Amino acid sequence: FFFFFSEGIEQKTKKIWLSLLVNLKPGAEQKVVFITARVHPGETPSSFVCQGIIDFLVSQHPVAKVLRDHLVFKIAPMLNPDGVYLGNYRYGFGDLKRHGFQTSPLKCLEFYIDIHAHSTMMNGFMYGNIFEEEERFQRQAIFPKLLCQNAEDFSFSSTSFNRDAVKAGTGRRFLGGLLDDTSYCYTLEVSFYSYIVGGATSTVPYTEEACILLKSSLPLPLRYT
């Protein structure tokens, strides 16, 4: 397989780097999984989550090999490098949240996962979209259910699906309205603090190592796609 970085959109001071993982056979259908992190610079745990995902995907784990053979992974570990470098959530009125981009066709995009960190809730959980078609909505719930079975810190009970107007500008909502009904878009949240396993009452802190280790479970449900 190939693993390399290519330069993407240049912002004010830094460039957005894109990781590409692919091992498809010639002529194979290119189903794309697009993963982003750190659109909010202060959400440092999302970087460790993203690192755990990348570490797993480039490993020799049998599931990782299957995923590389059947899917193309495009990963932007730091979507807002200016904010991270300068230490600000926003550096001006033309940043990622307030600047309109020209859209281009996104062919064969199967999954979009935008990684964030949450300041009040515990565990890992997801936000998904609500659709008029019941079948599409039910299909969308399968991935977080499978993730809950593979990661002890992930909570399906905290996962929710919405279309609130206040979230209309998020990547999940925007791409969910742009792509066709075979694509799935999620926001993955991980607590800044800790998680609770099963019916336990004590909490387990999210250390850097815990984020990296536990979120290596994220790609596992993709083997069912």
Taking only the tens place, the pLDDT of each residue in 30-42 is: 788 999 999 888 8
Give residue 106's domain range: 2-224
pLDDT at 104: 54
Round to whole Å and give the CA distance between 38 and 105: 24
- Over pLDDT 70: what percentage of the chain? 75
Give the number of other CB atoms < 10 A from CB of residue 22: 17
Identify the H or E element spanning 85.
helix 81-86
Provide the domain count of the chain: 1
- CATH number of the domain at 200, please: 3.40.630.10
Round to whole Å and give the CA distance between 103 and 25: 29
- Over pLDDT 90: what percentage of the chain? 20
Q: Which of 133, 134, 189, 209 is catalytic?
A: 189
**Residue 189 known to be catalytic:** yes
